[in-house]
Structure 1
């Protein structure tokens, strides 16, 4: 579904872009009718540039019409077995209409992940086959949404009714030494239901791996406190090493596909309106910006929010140029795309709409609990150059407040530092760009 919508949008936006480009070329040639042929040549749109743009948008070497035909063939194959499909579809809960219907729920509902959410619910609600602890490992890269997904499932009323206590071990709280007390202060209680049987749901966050002895002690403590059985453990990590700890197949999370991410970004930037019909030129620029963000949720909220508040084509063009230049700057400085660096917690230069100071350095990016104090400086104000006096030197800023559980505040440690660009590396940058396409 996402792929079909994406290709159709790309085809519509490309048509609008070609029409705009032809008008621009015509105006430019008229104004320069007395200029040299060499100058006129600058305004011609080559088939090669169009092919490169199409390859960037759809992610394949086929052109858009070929990709659209491929999607039509896929839909026809699906329709051949529609009777059986509809029969099985009736067995599953209804999904929100996306992307436009999703806009109404983005503030309090997780986008996508319906299949993964249902998989976790089935694990939690299914009675245990043995008195042993049932364990579900969830593996995925940093900031893919593991904690958000688990928290969202734990808010389900049926889950809260089933377990007498839901305990949460945040990252770093499980120590390798000492006795594990399930009622220690550093353990967070997500729910207590004294009316339900004595069953625990324990959620453990670890960055990489867990010590074998620590794991044994944790399981032992849980078993002792719930002798009737039925307790379950969900353990999340970035490392595949936890897969062997599970009593069931591990759930693996990955970043949203570019097509699903475009739906998400479009829902925030345009709301419930249809950009293809009402804002085709803005939608074309929005699609390119979304491509550059590399499936980063926080960046989507920041960038789409900035665009949504100013539906002006000239302003959007400026933001798009800033995003492009920021990518070039980071490729020159670090030989790596800026949003890939963010996934690795590496420093990255971020753009600003301020001519005198075009960039600042984001040194560190980390979530914090909603109960903690947040910086008064907002990252969006730094990027737009508004909000009063701008900071100097090193400072902390609030990047984004999540409105869905676990309601993290995303903070960044920054420095007002201009990039010292190196020379003689443009060829290497172009090679990097081709690699990302």
Structure 2
């Protein structure tokens, strides 16, 4: 190892404190002052740790996101065979475009939609997504993507048909053994499949190495929920999609 330089690439899913960064940075620089560190993140606030001008990747245009969404959602199926579902896909692209974490959200939902190409199913998933956004704007005053990025809880009652909140979570070996795990697609397809205790919800897992998972810690808040808590004020239907 003598004479070799070290390159460290770090991906931050959320912001960290300045003191924590200084300790981390000092550790590697102490090993070799020629060590280089590259920070990757969706959070522009982390640019304060850099010593050079940051490089910002441009956001996909609506047309680019719409094309990518439909390509992944339909897979090998010809979209022309499902013209009504194409319209729903376009609406999904409008909902996701410009929001924080749009690419992760896109992968999350195309993974769900590929399971069932029925236009009724797609409409139902889209409707639940819209209701979930409205609910969190009403309860917490922020978009779910923004809330998750800042470490705040997000209400996912509209997807689970049961009062649940999720916060960001890092999966490791011990966690997988301690808590039951469920994918977002499994929860959407069958809300009754949710574990009765706290669990880890995997919104999406990369198909290529190192197969990074985007996971959240989910807990019930049924004890804090009252009948007037729903945005619509109407009785919820216990029908899954």
Calculate the TM-score normalised by the size of structure 2: 0.69
Aligned partner of residue 156 in structure 2, secondary structure: strand
Q: Which has the larger radius of gyration?
A: 1
Match of 2:47 in 1: 240
Matched, 1:412 2:216: yes
Match of 1:10 in 2: none
Aligned partner of residue 68 in structure 2, secondary structure: helix
Match of 1:281 in 2: 84
Aligned partner of residue 195 in structure 2, secondary structure: coil
Match of 1:318 in 2: 124
CA contact (8 A) 1:377 1:398 kept: yes
Matched, 1:402 2:209: no
Matches within 5 A, 1:65-104: none
The counterpart of 2:185, out of the listed 380, 383, 406, is 380
Match of 1:89 in 2: none
CA shift digits 1:17-45 (9 cap, x unpaired): xxxxxxxxxxxxxxxxxxxxxxxxxxxxx
Match of 1:265 in 2: 69
CA contact (8 A) 2:205 2:213 kept: yes
Unaligned regions of 5+ residues in structure 2, if any? 234-241
Task: Tell me how far 1:395 sits from its aligned partner.
Answer: 2.7
Aligned partners of 1:332, 1:268: CA distance in 2, in Å?
A: 32
Matched, 1:252 2:59: no
Calculate the TM-score normalised by the size of structure 1: 0.42
Task: Tell me how far 1:285 sits from its aligned partner.
Answer: 0.9
CA RMSD of aligned residues (A): 3.7
Task: Tell me how far 1:359 sits from its aligned partner.
Answer: 4.3
Aligned partners of 2:216, 2:73: CA distance in 1, in Å?
A: 23
CA shift digits 1:316-346 (9 cap, x unpaired): 2222222222222222222322233223232
After superposition, the Cα gap between the structure-2 partners of 1:328 and 1:236, relative to the gap in structure 1 and judged at 3 Å, is: closer
Unaligned regions of 5+ residues in structure 1, if any? 1-163, 166-196, 224-228, 427-437
The counterpart of 2:95, out of the listed 292, 302, 306, is 292
Aligned partners of 1:318, 1:334: CA distance in 2, in Å?
A: 24
After superposition, the Cα gap between the structure-2 partners of 1:215 and 1:335, relative to the gap in structure 1 and judged at 3 Å, is: closer
Aligned partner of residue 202 in structure 2, secondary structure: strand
Match of 2:112 in 1: 306
CA contact (8 A) 2:198 2:218 kept: yes
Aligned partners of 2:143, 2:56: CA distance in 1, in Å?
A: 25
